[in-house]
């Protein structure tokens, strides 16, 4: 159990962004949950343009993205990897977040440098299996 509060401010986002820029994957997350067994998986993800997130799904739980800064485009696909919908999330334009239903294939594209999102999903953590990646 955490003994101190985690303040989500520009200083914290800048620190995670610097780590993301240095990462070969061009992304870095800060877990806000106590463990991978926690019933709620909460994190801040700092994402840079060019990061690759495969088209995937979470069969048994929904996922929520809230854009703290920057912008992303989220894509929804059918089981044949045909694009069925997309959403631009940019708080400067009044589009802050998105709830992704359980079982929906999705991925995202990072639009702006320094993008940071709050992400939440039910736990415990379950790695994505090959059957859940298109």
Q: Domain-by-domain residue ranges, the chain?
A: 10-124
Cis preceding linkage at 111, omega within 30: no
Query: For residue 125, what pLDDT is reported?
Result: 81
Compute φ and ψ for 110, nearest 5 degrees: -85, 125
**If you average pLDDT over residues 71-80, what whole number do you get?**
97
* Mean pLDDT score, 81-93: 97
Domain 10-124 fold is Jelly Rolls (2.60.120)
At 127 the pLDDT is: 82
Instruction: Phi first, then psi: give them for residue 90, nearest 5 degrees.
Output: -150, 110
Give a three-class secondary structure readout of 41-82: EEEEEEECCCCCCCCECCCCCCEEEEEEECCEEEEEECCCCC
Question: What's residue 1's pLDDT?
Answer: 58
Cα 113 to Cα 123: distance, rounded to the nearest angstrom: 29
Per-residue pLDDT at 72 exceeds 90 = yes
């Amino acid at each position: 159990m955490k003994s101190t509060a985690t303040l989500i401010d520009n200083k914290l986002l800048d620190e995670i962004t610097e780590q993301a820029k240095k990462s070969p994957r061009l992304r870095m997350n800060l877990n806000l949950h106590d463990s991978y067994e926690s019933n709620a998986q909460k994190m801040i993800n700092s994402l840079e343009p060019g990061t690759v997130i495969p088209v995937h799904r979470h069969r048994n739980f929904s996922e929520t993205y809230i854009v703290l800064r920057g912008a992303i485009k989220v894509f929804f696909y059918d089981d044949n990897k045909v694009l069925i919908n997309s959403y631009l999330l940019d708080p400067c334009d009044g589009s802050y977040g998105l709830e992704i239903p359980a079982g929906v294939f999705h991925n995202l594209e990072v639009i702006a440098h320094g993008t940071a999102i709050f992400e939440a999903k039910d736990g415990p953590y379950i790695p994505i299996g090959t059957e859940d990646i298109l």
